[in-house]
Amino acid sequence: MANVLTTGAWLSAPTKKPSFFARLLRAHFEARQRGAERAVAHYIATHGLKRTDDADRQIERVFLKAGR
């Protein structure tokens, strides 16, 4: 008999559906993530920055200050 861990059979086993709260929390997190990514893209586009370490520091400074 083959070992379940080596054949990968456990990966295809049916899983329990996440609860409503878990799905709601995930949807909220993903929406906030998309909003943050849009805000960063907008900031880069309006300030004409290239993606460098200095630009990352500027963006971090702006958004950390805005979150207070």
Q: What is the pLDDT of residues 21-44, one digit of tens each?
A: 999 999 999 999 999 899 888 888
Calculate mean pLDDT across residues 52-56: 85
Closest by CA position to 61, among listed 43, 45, 46: 43
Q: How far apart are CA 16 and CA 64, in angstroms?
A: 38
Q: How far apart are CA 64 and CA 60, in angstroms?
A: 6
Give me the helix-helix angle, 20-47 and 53-66, nearest 10°. Answer: 120
The amino acid occupying position 21 is F
Q: How far apart, in whole angstroms, are the C-alpha atoms of residue 5 and residue 18?
A: 24
